[in-house]
Structures are given as C-alpha cells and as structure tokens.
Amino acid sequence: MQLLRSCTATVTALTLAAIVTAAPGGGTVTGKVTYTGTPAKPKPIDMAKEPSCAKQYTTPPMTENVVTGPANTLEYVVVYISAGAPDESSAPSTAVTFDQKGCHYTPHVLAFQVNQELKVTNSDQTSHNIHPLAKTNREWNKSQPPGTPPISEKYDKPEFISVKCNIHPWMHGWFVVLKTNHYSISKDGGFSLPNLPAGKYTVTAWHEGTKNQSKPVSVAGDTKADFTLSK
C-alpha cells in the first residue's frame, strides 16, 4: 500500500510538472488592419459572356482587389508569424478547398501550409481553366469541366501565388502557401493568432494591393498588434 501511494504521488508530481511545462505563459495576438488613403472603388464584373454564371446574381458581382469596411478596415489580409516560431515539420491531414461558383473564386484568398492538400472544385455548369501563376513552385494549368472530380495539388515551398482562369478573365484569386500554422485572414479588418507560446515574434500583414508590413511582438499573455496598410 505504501508503495502504491508512493507511485501515485510520483505520477501526480510528474503530471503537475507536465502541466507547468505545457503552459509557458503564452497567449494570442489580435488586432485590426486598416487601409490608409482612399481605396479604389470595386468595379462591377460583366459576366454577360457566361450566362450560366450571370444568372446566379441579382446584381453584378464586384471586384475584390481591395475590399474595405467601416473606418477603412481591410478584408483579405493574411496576417502570419513570419519569424520566431519554428517551421511546421508536417502538414495538416485535412485538405483546403478552393471553389469556383458563379464564375467566382471562393474564397478570394486561400491560405494553407506547405505540403497541405489543396482541392479545387467546380460548382458551375461551365468549364473552368484554373491557372496558378507560381514562380517558386511548379506552375500548372488545368481544365476542369462541370461535374468532374476535384483537382488535387500540393506545394512544397512557401509562396504567394496569383490565380486566374484562362477562360473567364475576370476570375482572380490567391493561394498563400506558408511554412507556419500561425496565420489568419482578416474579417471586418480583425484577425487572431491564438495558441502562441511565450516569446518574441515577427508578425507580417500581407495584402495583394498594398505594401506588406511587419512588426515585432512579445507574447506573454494576450497581445495587440494593429496594422495600417497603404498602396
């Protein structure tokens, strides 16, 4: 009985030590991204040459190069840890999906990790020809008729990749391939990078139509980091 109590106490002590080790006082980096200056106004997209897509909209869809909200909060900004955190040694087992619906890419900006599976789907009644313009990674260009299975691809290097459709020139989006799993895409200008161990990091904000911005942060609990981007 004494031996059992001793072993139990030892296990309890080891468990507590593990809990202390696993909780190093980290936190979350949150903030807002705003656009400074006068943003270009979104333009209506004319889809008259593709009636099957045009009829899906009650009003013409708009371009998404620069999308702002109240107080010039900026959408589609990828905020990520660019230094201070180790590169991920393995990719998530779940795939990310890039859909083509209404001759429109959803989402406009898709962020995922190096070697994570990417699935490109076609929800339209027309063919698409998806063409990511990679420069560091292998460039590919594939046709995808309606009703065909998803296209499956992976990228083995980090890169910001512009995506277009060779059939519908108004279709434009981005693949953001990162080495880290600490990233967020702004919504209503807001972002959150949770579960960061205590330490010093560099946080970078990337947007397709502005200059990138980076800033150092020290995480020891919840931390604020706001960005103001300009053309």
- For the chain, the structural domain boundaries read 25-229
pTM above 0.85, yes or no: yes
Domain 25-229 has CATH 2.40.440.10: no
d(CA 3, CA 225) in angstroms, rounded, equals: 53
d(CA 185, CA 211) in angstroms, rounded, equals: 16
Residue type, 20: V
Nearest to 161 by CA among 181, 176, 146: 176
pLDDT computed for residue 75 by the predictor: 98
pLDDT computed for residue 165 by the predictor: 98
Reported as a single tens digit per residue, the pLDDT across 133-183 is 999 999 999 999 999 999 999 999 999 999 999 999 999 999 999 999 999
Distance between alpha carbon 127 and the CA centroid of its chain, in Å?
A: 26
d(CA 13, CA 179) in angstroms, rounded, equals: 36
Evaluate the omega torsion of the peptide bond into residue 107 and state whether it is cis, within 30 degrees of 0.
Answer: yes
- In which residue are the tokens 């106490």 written? 9
